[in-house]
Amino acid sequence: MASKLVCYDCGRRVDAPAVRCSCGEPLWFDVDVSDFEWPSSSDTSMWRYDELLPDVTATGVGTAAGGTPLVRTSTLDDYANCNTFVKYEAEEPTGTFKDRGSAVGVAWAAAEGSGRVGTVSHGNMGMSMAAHAAAMDQECFVLVPNDIPAERLTYIAQYDPTIVRIEGDYGDLYYDTIDLSRRLDITFVNSDVPLRVAGQKTVALEICEAFAPEVPDGIVVPVSSGGHASAVWKGLRELHEAGVIATIPSLYLVQAAAVDPIATAYRDGASSVSATDRTSTIAYSIANADPPSGNRALAAARETDGVVTSVSEDAIRDATETLATDAGLCVEPSSAVSLAGLRKLADDGWIDSSDEIVMITTGTGFKEGSETSVESTEIDLSSLERELPTLFS
Ligand SMILES: *Cc1c(COP(=O)(O)O)cnc(C)c1O
Ligand SMILES: [Zn+2]
């Protein structure tokens, strides 16, 4: 398996169990797609595509990753000004797409590693890794920024990993763990490492299989480190190379304007992404100011005739509410950026009103503390029949 790593950028093949190429860019797994056809398997989890996955076996929660619903959301069409679909990753076992990558990464570590896995996390990643580690009997280290909201820690702690709060530059931590992986024999399955990207690409396979033999016109992805966007791109490239899709849908990548290094590079026509300041945003899960797969995400958008854009805090709030009130879908603000971004791109003329566009809503809203004050009315049971009609609008 080690010999199958390749650099998306310079094409170099790397033998060691590395995560980055000597050119500095991230590696991913190359697979032989020549015999691939849509599977006839009755397995609806991500493992229905095992032919395109590293040769590992998950157990427990890992077998439940993937197979999330693709929802036609016609009630959002006016808001987004096109034909909308939602790929609802909120239904993953721990509520985010991270489970697809954790399933592959932890299964690999269980077979080949030292019994220790780790990750760097703003919350969702730690929760996902800790859950999969629990199911595969791996010791798990979750490194979090010191200012992580307390409620996020309680979700991670349920699975009983070792939680380490890190004071210092969070961007550097990613690179430090590459070194720690070797020296402490911990398999770090961070945001954009080859094992994680290999699992996370299955979301693109599911979307395209649902549309087969057609493809959607575009796929909208919230972006932070760029690992997820890289994975979606990788999945689409493999399907195209295998000949099961005729064209590659455009990738529309969306960031919060508060932290948007990749969108800035796109806007400036820059050849690479530069780190920005870390300002606060309600889209907490996508606030990576120094994205390790930023250049790869930029390439994904450019090479698929897509766009990288960013959206305001107000637009994110409005889209989060609209997903709930108009489509009944509760997602976290970091996921709702896909709807906010799509609306903006349609307004700016990038999307045609007849286009069919899939928004990946990356994570559930059920884990989020809400800012909204709730309006309600109190009625005594004995007067319910008399009082309820007064509330009809
Ligand atoms: C991790 C995460 C993202 C960003 O994914 P990257 O691979 O870091 O780009 C987006 N949304 C949610 C809900 C996440 O947890
Ligand atoms: Zn390279």
Q: Nearest ligand, CA of residue 8?
A: 2
Atom of ligand 1 nearest to the CA of 363: 13
What is the Å distance from ligand 1's center to 198 Cα?
15
- Asked if 36 and 52 touch (Cβ cutoff 8 Å), the reply is yes
Distance in angstroms (rounded) separating the CA atoms of residues 259 and 282: 11
**Which ligand is the nearest neighbour of the Cα of 20?**
2
Q: Could you tell me whether strands 83-88 and 307-311 are parallel, antiparallel, or unpaired per DSSP bridges?
A: unpaired
Q: Are strands 116-120 and 139-145 parallel, antiparallel or unpaired?
A: parallel
**Amino acid type, 162:** T
Please report the DSSP string for 65-114 in residue order.
-----EEE-GGGHHHHTSEEEEEEGGGSTTSBTHHHHHHHHHHHHHHHS-
Q: What is the pLDDT of residue 250?
A: 98
**Any bridge partners for residue 363, and if so which?**
96
**Spatial distance between the Cα atoms of 29 and 4, rounded to a whole number of angstroms:** 6
Q: Which atom of ligand 1 is nearest to the CA of 231?
A: 7
Best residue among 68, 193, 285 to mutate for probing ligand 1, ranked by most atoms within 8 Å of CB: 285
Ligand 2 centre to CA of 25 (Å) is 5
Strand order of the β-sheet with 5-7 is: 13-14, 5-7, 27-29
Query: Which chain residues have CB less than 5 Å from ligand 2, an ion?
Result: 7, 9-10, 12, 21, 23, 25
Provide the angle, in degrees to the nearest 10, between the axes of the packed helices 294-303 and 261-268.
50
| Pocket of ligand 1 from Cβ distances under 6 Å | 96, 98, 124, 191, 222-229, 285-286, 332, 334-335, 362-363
Which pTM value belongs to this model? 0.96
- Residue indicated by tokens 């997903």: 323
Q: Are strands 250-256 and 218-222 parallel, antiparallel or unpaired?
A: parallel
Residue 346's pLDDT is what? 97
Burial group, residue 302, by CB count within 10 angstroms (0-12, 13-18, 19+) = middle
- Rounded Cα–Cα distance for residues 10 and 20 (Å): 12
| Residue pLDDT tens, the chain, 393 long | 445 899 999 999 997 778 999 999 999 999 999 999 999 999 999 999 999 999 999 999 999 999 999 999 999 999 999 999 999 999 999 999 999 999 999 999 999 989 999 999 989 999 999 999 999 999 999 999 888 888 889 999 999 999 999 988 877 888 999 989 989 999 999 999 999 999 999 999 999 999 999 999 999 999 999 999 999 999 999 999 999 999 999 999 999 999 999 999 999 999 999 999 888 999 999 999 999 999 999 999 999 999 999 999 999 999 999 999 999 999 999 999 999 999 999 999 999 999 999 999 999 999 876 666 788 889 999 999 999 999 998
| Residues 338/67, Cβ–Cβ less than 8 Å | no
Closest Cα to atom 14 of ligand 1:
285
